[in-house]
Structure 1
């Protein structure tokens, strides 16, 4: 009996809605995953009527609005952009409010992330606030969007136009995907087009197909026709749909509730701080040091194409989650050192004929020509200072001592590997009670004179540190630079000459 009542209620509901909109097209009512038959197959609670939540799962109501209502709503929108209503615009409105309602829901969920940034630059260049909706038409509010034609980013810049407006592009960073920089560039580009045509619809059309194509359409239209709809037949096909799509997006976003379109997952921009980068950086290591997720760090910096930044980077403002600001302020130098990429191992060349030597006994454990030493952490110590003291990297100390972070305590014992002292040759007794040195130069042999190595000099650049310099030059350590240049501390300044070997 309960199942029969359920079917009756559902059928009555659907029939009532269908009858009230008999003139509507076949998309007035759309069933989702569940149907009346599915409901009959499932056991139901012993209740006569379905709750609103249960009905919402079974059916979605899509209102049908006549042309007069749509046109009236468009006329009520206060905008500096002409919002013309015609058959083409109506078709695009139906697309965003009926056929692809999911897309409109997604845009509603993302708008609070990007629109505040767009609005800031629109105000800066004194432009209509509704221009922000153009990014929905261009990229669907996706900073990593890429088209078949090579246009990239939220404002879909091609390479040449991006470079023209100061958006740098290389193997590590593509600023066409930088929300702030690409938005500033897009507003400057659109402002220039508006000054050329004196009309926002034509400016947006030129943004899509190029200024030359719009001028060509104006010439072909003749007779002083200079509005988008007057030159509409002479524009490229894609551009003929571009402005109607823009009008439809503005309408759909402003009147989504009237079309029963809501988003249940509204996103907001994450708070962040800036870290000024002037060195090679491994973003995965940095994320680990800051106790944040690597994906969260990359999401804040969509313009970064790889997880590593090169040593040549200068004054790059990396966005870092605000939660890490306090840790950065306290240990920025140590964190940056720990996040430096591990340099590739130096190539070892094996001599064709190595001299025969027997290592002398030592009380320290040898490890590939290194010896292990124990260091007791003193008050005021940190990993940066200890690494500098022994001429090693923070990462090496952490690896040798199985440390996951940079925290150490007084009296902690840290193991550090250091170069082993050269072994003295061992004398072996011969059978005839005489002795000889193994792998030793004969007494009468003339010592080989080595050629003098040319002196290597490095000119300090802005942003350089002894650590970054040592990482760029094979076989050079911080302690070696300080010793060769008689430096008492690590302070250096741009233009200073440093002897490296």
Structure 2
């Protein structure tokens, strides 16, 4: 009779392979260094952050692909941060914002590696037009983000609050933090610390010990070229495929290299990282954090426009297993349909689909809206929501990925008829028995609306990101005075005109109904509303 010991050893080794290759999930420490700060973390906050760290490791194949992107792009990110004088620790923020997907787009049209809206991109010196979009260039967009962060740190005098200002704008950060952290070098992170910084810490902890661990021995090269040219010609010149060049040079919007000097990106061996096959809905589909702003904001950084946060392959958002909605598996409806018909299209039973999305049988699926294909959460990432005109309890629950029954229970509110614009709804903590719901006066529903406190309600946390970014301190309320007019002269751009009148590009576009192409003509009269 042969010994079973060798078989046992072989079986043990097979079981051990995933842990050997993948490594142990890093644990959140009680203290760590960030930039020039010492961060201590309370036990409760450590548990909260650990959940986000664990989520990064949930799917080994997806983590491997993401790690390959980190290995490709991070040397350039580090170099550009150093050149501007920003601590290299801020490099993990780009993973949080886009997962290092160069053409990531949020629901608020924030674009690229660092998730810039067009107006903010232009304000930090990035070129965004019909030929070039530097938000999709890793070096250029990192320079822009570093410029943005350094400017804010110069005002806030603290890299933690400067990092949070990337999400809520300089004005929002100043209002939220005041001067309590200015010049402070030791910070305690607890349950009340801004969620965006805790999310950042999760990314730092998840990736800082892993950089280089899954290196695929590929190197992203930068080559200076002179346009105009085509990808076909450049592919022959550098011995790679056209698809390869298109994959790493999405900054060339038209698919061609325009006149002038440009940086071309390519991998030396010409091989593209392989994307993993996403399995059917099993609960193990990878989640990405984005951001996307992922996602998230109007020029005034209203939290209402920050969600839902969409990540993943947004070009195929109408197909199942392609995107995440608030870090949950989801799908976007392409056209109106009944819940049963839509559920059939995405390979799910109608009863389950309606339950996941709190839909009644008679309700229809609306085109353009996002729906969940896994169970929604019992609390949102942010603490509160300001009710906007026209919103319902259901639409708010879908916006944040929180179960409808939970939302009602937390706020002791049962019917849409009880909702009033300006109500501050709790999305995390249950409202105490007998506690009235604060109301903040809001203007009519417009993307750039301003809010002001009408009662002695507690301050409401605003969230948004440069995924949505026009700096909040530049926001101006719609004036009651007579507007001015500016006649466009030769050589003027929206950006130069916005600087002249101390307004933002997005405000000019909104006031004058200018489309995404930013086209203005000589002699055109633009409305300028006074601050």
- Give the TM-score band, short-chain normalised: 0.3 to 0.5
Return the structure number with greater relative CO, CA threshold 8 A, min gap 6: 2
Larger Rg: 1
TM-score (norm 1): 0.45
